[in-house]
Amino acid sequence: MLLLKILLFPVSILFLCITVLRNKLYDWGVLASTKHTIQVVSIGNIRVGGSGKTPMVSYLANQFKTKVSVGLLSRGYGRLTKGFQWVDQQCSSDQVGDEMLMLKGHLGDEVIAAVCEDRNLGARKIIEKGAELIFLDDAFQHRAISRNLDLLLSDFRRPFFGDWLMPSGRLRESRFSARRADALIVTNCPEVFSKEDADHLKKQFRPYLVEGCAVFFASLKADEPIPLFDNDQSIDSGVVLVSGIANPGNFEISVNKNFGFEEHFRFPDHYAYTLPDIQKIIAVLNRENLSLLTTEKDAVKLARFKELESFPCFYLPVQLKFHDFGTNFDSWIGSKLLAGG
């Protein structure tokens, strides 16, 4: 693996030059960032893969939906459609992507949600529908749209300061691009996490952040499993895991706190399940008399397979929980947004 990284390093240098030039063109005003009439907040990361962006968007929407009209905008990863699409609970993941469908299922009509590759077009339409605040999902690199706050996420187990630029590593751009962030949120921290641990990690991030950048730490706390279908089945034995997410190891860690698992069907992130996939899973459920346990993001796609209805199938919801080491995240972001940015 190390040899492959070394061999790909020259390509990473070329990629670095391209991304640095692109960012400089935005910094110099050669490439334009469109400013909108309402406040816009970007949630994103530097490293390819999951870092808890969707739970973060859900957390923020829940914090602000009672104060202002909230809009959610994403590219709609994994969808088969193109262009602008409104998201409602009658949509499928093929139409709008799994993450936005899950968020809409959580938040319902309390938020305005849409997907669009062109974030400026999507923002205009959401504003026309009455939004007073927009949260952009996975938009740290999408600099064509101006934002009032940039929230950068980094996974505790895979911090960006320990990685290389693509293709020899998993970074989308230089570590020093983190200087654009107004706040860094280290996600997937252990639930038991001391201030000393936080301070040690903060020192490792500091060289890549601007002075005054706030740093927060958050964990993902798993709730009780929820049935995928309307039936009276329960988890009485071991479980089979099914996931199509960027970091399946994090899912396993959450499950192991309360359940053992016999097998894990791992699929690529944003995977579109097929009937043959479901048949393979059913064969294992039948053979071992096990329950199926999946992620909330995958649940919106698996629920359409009626073949699973006769089996005990559940999904594991997670919630973001911030560690309070002196600066409270809710107070910080409330002051930034409700005070006018």
Tell me, what CATH number does 266's domain have? 3.40.50
Q: Which residue has the tokens 């936005």?
A: 100
| Strands across the sheet containing 133-137 | 85-86, 111-115, 70-74, 133-137, 39-45, 149-155, 183-187, 214-222, 318-323
Neighbour tally for 278: CB within 10 Å: 17
Which CATH number characterizes residue 64's domain?
Answer: 3.40.50.300
In the prediction, which pLDDT does 200 show? 95
Query: Which of 1-5, 69-73, 197-201 comes out lowest in average pLDDT?
Result: 1-5
C-alpha 134/C-alpha 170 separation (Å) is: 28
Q: Is the pLDDT of residue 339 over 80?
A: no
Q: Are 47 and 140 in contact (CB under 8 A)?
A: no
User: Using CA atoms, how far apart are residues 42 and 271, in angstroms rounded to an integer?
Assistant: 25
Two tokens, residue 227:
């049935």
Q: What is the pTM (predicted TM-score) of this model?
A: 0.93
How far apart CA 292 and CA 31 sit, in angstroms, is: 49
More confident residue, 232 or 340: 232
Q: For the segment 63-94, what is each residue's pLDDT rounded down to a tens digit?
A: 999 999 999 999 999 899 999 999 998 999 99
Name the nearest CA neighbour of 134 among 332, 341, 317. 341
As a whole number, mean pLDDT of residues 165-171 equals: 94
* 32 token code pair: 């334009």
Same domain? 148 vs 273: no
Both 153 and 83 in one domain: the answer is: yes
| The 313-316 sheet, strands edge to edge | 226-227, 313-316, 291-295, 239-243, 261-266
Say yes or no to pLDDT of 340 above 60: no
Considering the domain architecture, whether residues 305 and 172 belong to the same structural domain is answered as no
**What is the average per-residue pLDDT within 55-63?**
96
Sign of the dihedral through C-alpha 66, 71, 76, 79: positive
Measured distance CA(139)–CA(75) in Å, rounded: 9
Together in a domain, 251 and 175: no
Instruction: Decide: 34 and 145 in contact? Cβ < 8 Å.
Output: yes
| One domain, residues 213 and 333 | yes
Q: What pLDDT score was predicted for residue 253?
A: 87
Residue 21 lies in a domain: no
Tell whether 20 is covered by a domain: no
Cα dihedral angle (207, 213, 214, 215), rounded to 10 degrees?
A: -20
Q: State the chain's mean pLDDT as an integer.
A: 93
Mean pLDDT of 192-214: 95
Helix-, strand-, coil-residue percentages of the chain, each rounded to 5: 40, 25, 40
Q: Are residues 157 and 231 in the same domain?
A: no
**Strand positions, DSSP E, the chain:** 39-45, 70-74, 85-86, 111-115, 133-137, 149-155, 183-187, 214-222, 226-227, 239-243, 261-266, 291-295, 313-316, 318-323
Does residue 151 fall inside a structural domain? Answer: yes
Say if residue 303 is in the same domain as residue 177. Answer: no
Q: Do 70 and 188 fall into the same domain?
A: yes
Q: Is residue 232 located within the same domain as residue 203?
A: no
What is the rounded average pLDDT of the residues 277-301? Answer: 93
What integer pLDDT is reported at residue 267 of this predicted model?
Answer: 96
Using 50, 70 and 90 to split pLDDT, how confident is the model at 234?
A: confident
d(CA 149, CA 43) in angstroms, rounded, equals: 9
152 with 166, same domain: the answer is yes
β-strand pairing of 85-86 with 111-115: antiparallel
Nearest to 18 by CA among 154, 144, 141, 159: 141
Cβ-in-10-Å burial (0-12, 13-18, 19+) of 257 comes to: exposed
Let me know whether 169 and 53 are in one domain. yes
Check: CB of residue 293 under 8 Å from CB of residue 228: no
Q: Give residue 230's pLDDT.
A: 86
Q: Is 212 helix (H, G, I), strand (E, B) or coil?
A: coil
Determine phi and psi for 290, rounding to 5 degrees: -110, 170
Mean pLDDT confidence for 91-114 = 94
Residue 231 and residue 141 share a domain: no
pLDDT for 6: 80
Quote the number of domains for the chain: 2
The pLDDT assigned to 93 comes to 93
For residue 277, the enclosing domain spans: 226-316
Q: For residue 1, is it within any domain?
A: no
State the pLDDT confidence band at 297, using cuts at 50, 70 and 90.
Answer: very high
**DSSP class of 228:** S
pLDDT value of residue 341: 47
